[in-house]
């Protein structure tokens, strides 16, 4: 029961396995009458249709693409940026009859990347170490950020975007700025306020290991703020909650900054919450900027707009081989100024 195969049916009906197979896949290859009898009999025997895995083996492809995330699968769902991106990817793949497999980092010694049956991988942001792993599989691999040795990537010019944000803040007259950086490495403590120079050293190490991928963005921001009085706070991931925690650290110190530059909207929205809780008015008392232009940012967050959904779509097309020659795609971004930023109070 449940273990019925085409062979069983063929045997019982006195036909060949091939005929049974054809009954399921190639109706035109046999008489309607025989086909009907086979299907009926198969149903009666509890046959549940051609085994998917056997078929995949035989056909040499799975119609499944793996999305690789290093922070534990469930974290993906907490980050709106990733959720939107995934939505675009899903739309594209689904239209092509392909499915998405969420691949975690594994728990024990086994590397799940090696055991999943997929036709290719998408490396989500913050997941660079998996590049090597995916390459080991010898399968197509595309990523959400520029990276060497992959078969394609889709990104914006993160460094320029970082510069644009910094420039905006500087022009508003802010001289005392806190940058909230997403810290993706669990081993390193979060929420530590550091001087930029020391932080850059750390980040550069991470970047060299391929772990820290908002490096260009961070670099652009810090470069653009050079000469000002800058602090950096590392947050635990890119979520609203993390942003709130970060803001708590910043705001409860004496010597508050007049501007907080968060490296993602998710973080920035958390910062805004924390400010309001303290009766601080964003854009007047303290300016706040984000990055991504999530839907929630429309309520008044100054940020960098990037076409997140399109990123996902294009990654899907890249994977499906639908795009022409260009496999390194740089999308446009745009500074969107809203009410969360204003002139530095004097």
Partner DNA sequence: TTGTAAGCGTTATCAA
Partner DNA sequence: TTGATAACGCTTACAA
Q: Which residues bind its own copies (CB under 8 A)?
A: 2, 46, 48-57, 62-64, 72-74, 76-78, 83-84, 86-88, 90-91, 93-95, 97, 99-104, 106-108, 110, 112, 114-118, 136-139
Nearest approach in angstroms of CB 123 to DNA is 23
Long-range contacts of 82-86 (CB under 8 A, 24+ apart): 82/124, 82/125, 84/294, 84/308, 84/309, 84/312, 85/124, 85/144, 85/308, 85/309, 85/311, 85/312, 85/315, 86/124, 86/312
Q: Which does 22 bind (CB under 5 to 8 A by kind): its own copies, DNA, none?
A: DNA
Q: Which does 118 bind (CB under 5 to 8 A by kind): DNA, its own copies, none?
A: its own copies
Q: Scan for tokens 């809780």, then name that residue.
A: 277
50 binds DNA (CB under 7 A): yes
Rounded alpha-carbon distances, angstroms, from residue 74 to 2, 71, 288: 32, 8, 28
**Cβ distance to its own copies smaller for residue 87 or 173:** 87
Q: Which does 31 bind (CB under 5 to 8 A by kind): its own copies, DNA, none?
A: DNA
59 binds DNA (CB under 7 A): yes
5 φ/ψ sector (left φ>0, alpha ψ -120 to 50, else beta) = beta
What is the token pair recorded at 157?
A: 């010019």
**Cβ distance to DNA smaller for residue 29 or 195:** 29
Give the integer Cα–Cα distance in Å for 16 and 86.
Answer: 44
**Cβ distance to DNA smaller for residue 58 or 253:** 58
214: buried, middle or exposed (CB in 10 Å: 19+, 13-18, 0-12)?
buried
**Cβ distance to DNA smaller for residue 7 or 278:** 7
DSSP-assigned beta bridge partners for residue 142: 122, 152
17 binds DNA (CB under 7 A): yes
Nearest approach in angstroms of CB 100 to DNA is 23
**Cβ distance to its own copies smaller for residue 101 or 228:** 101
Q: Which does 211 bind (CB under 5 to 8 A by kind): DNA, its own copies, none?
A: none
What is the token pair recorded at 36?
A: 């009907």
Give the integer Cα–Cα distance in Å for 90 and 93.
Answer: 5
104: buried, middle or exposed (CB in 10 Å: 19+, 13-18, 0-12)?
middle
**Cβ distance to its own copies smaller for residue 113 or 154:** 113
Helices 265-277, 240-251: axis angle to 10 degrees equals: 50
DSSP label of 100 = E
Nearest approach in angstroms of CB 298 to its own copies is 11
5 binds DNA (CB under 7 A): yes
Give the integer Cα–Cα distance in Å for 323 and 325.
Answer: 7
Task: Using the rule CB under 7 A, give the single segment among 19-27, 145-153, 188-196, 326-334 that binds DNA.
Answer: 19-27
In the window 234-273, what residues touch DNA (CB under 7 A)?
none
Binding interface with DNA (CB under 7 A) = 3, 5-7, 14-19, 21-22, 24-25, 28-31, 34-35, 49-51, 54-55, 57-60
């Amino acid at each position: 029961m449940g273990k019925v195969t085409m062979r069983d049916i063929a045997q019982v009906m006195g036909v060949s396995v091939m005929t049974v197979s054809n009954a399921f896949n190639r109706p035109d290859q046999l008489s309607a009458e025989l086909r009907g009898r086979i299907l009926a009999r198969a149903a009666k025997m509890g046959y549940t249709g051609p085994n998917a895995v056997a078929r995949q083996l035989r056909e040499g492809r799975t119609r499944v693409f793996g999305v690789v995330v290093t922070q534990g699968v469930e974290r993906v769902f907490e980050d709106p940026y990733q959720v939107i991106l995934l939505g675009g990817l899903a739309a594209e793949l689904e239209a092509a009859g392909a499915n998405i497999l969420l691949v975690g980092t594994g728990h024990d010694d086994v590397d799940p990347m090696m055991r999943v049956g997929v036709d290719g991988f998408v490396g989500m942001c913050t997941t660079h170490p998996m590049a090597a792993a995916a390459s080991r599989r010898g399968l197509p691999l595309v990523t959400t950020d520029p990276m060497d040795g992959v078969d394609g990537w889709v990104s914006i010019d993160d460094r320029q975007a970082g510069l644009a944000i910094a420039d905006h803040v500087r022009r508003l007259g802010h001289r005392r700025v806190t940058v909230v950086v997403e810290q993706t490495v669990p081993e390193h403590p979060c929420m530590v306020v550091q001087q930029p120079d020391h932080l850059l050293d750390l980040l550069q190490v991470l970047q060299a290991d391929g772990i820290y991928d908002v490096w260009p963005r961070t670099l652009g921001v810090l470069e653009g703020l050079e000469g000002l009085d800058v602090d950096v706070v590392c947050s635990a991931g890119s979520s609203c909650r993390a942003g709130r925690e970060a803001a708590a650290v910043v705001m409860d110190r004496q010597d508050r900054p007049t501007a907080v530059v968060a490296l993602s909207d998710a973080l920035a929205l958390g910062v805004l919450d924390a400010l309001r809780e303290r009766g601080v008015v964003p854009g007047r008392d303290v300016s706040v900027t984000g990055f991504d232009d999530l839907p929630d940012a429309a309520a008044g967050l100054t940020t960098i707009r990037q076409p997140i959904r399109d990123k996902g779509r294009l990654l899907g097309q890249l994977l499906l081989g639908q795009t022409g020659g260009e496999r390194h795609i740089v999308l446009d971004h745009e500074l969107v100024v809203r009410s969360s930023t204003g002139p530095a109070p004097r």
